[in-house]
Amino acid sequence: MRGGTHIIAGVLVGYVVGASAGVPLLDSAALGAVGGLAAMLPDIDHPQSAIRRKTGVLGTLAAFWMNHRGITHSALAVLIVGLVATLLSQPLMTAAIAGGYASHLLLDSCTPAGIPLFWPAARRIHLLPSVVRIRTGSFAERGVALAMVALMFVSAWRNT
């Protein structure tokens, strides 16, 4: 999936965390922003990703030894990110961060490449059967992104 689709999914997850907790719309939107940023983190392992380029030397040092869709696309990474977030933030923020990160893995598990969910085991996990897997940049991916945006607007409208 492309970065924009991951951001939309993370924003949706973060927003839903806030809305489900009954926090005001602007606070839910802030949690959405956090979720959107967290959804970009798994691609720190890709040399051309926006998150790696934006973090500059730090991103290169953190990820120069990783292969794309390796440890950063695993359940172990979600657990580590969740634990670090728990130590550094409050429960809703932790949920937005871990949820945004996990949304990335969920989307990538719908692609032909799949993800190594149980890394270091090499077996790739696919959420969808091969005939309906979503190719990066495809019309289907754009449809998924549009559906998530629509869901977010409907949810925000219903919760105002």
**pLDDT number for residue 56:** 73
Of 2, 1, 34, the closest CA to residue 16 belongs to: 34
First to last CA, the chain: 31
- Average pLDDT across each block of 10 residues of the chain; the chain has 160 residues. List them in order: 95 95 93 97 83 72 68 94 95 97 97 94 94 94 96 83
pLDDT at 55: 75
Beta-carbon contacts of residue 57 (< 8 Å; ≥ 6 apart): none
Which pLDDT score, from 0 to 100, does residue 29 have?
Answer: 93
| Long-range contact set of residues 47-52: C-beta below 8 Å, sequence gap at least 24 | 49/3, 50/3, 51/3
pLDDT score of 69: 78
pTM as predicted: 0.91
pLDDT of 47: 76
CB 43 within 8 A of CB 102: no
Give the tokens for residue 112: 């032909």
For residue 40, the model assigns a pLDDT of 94
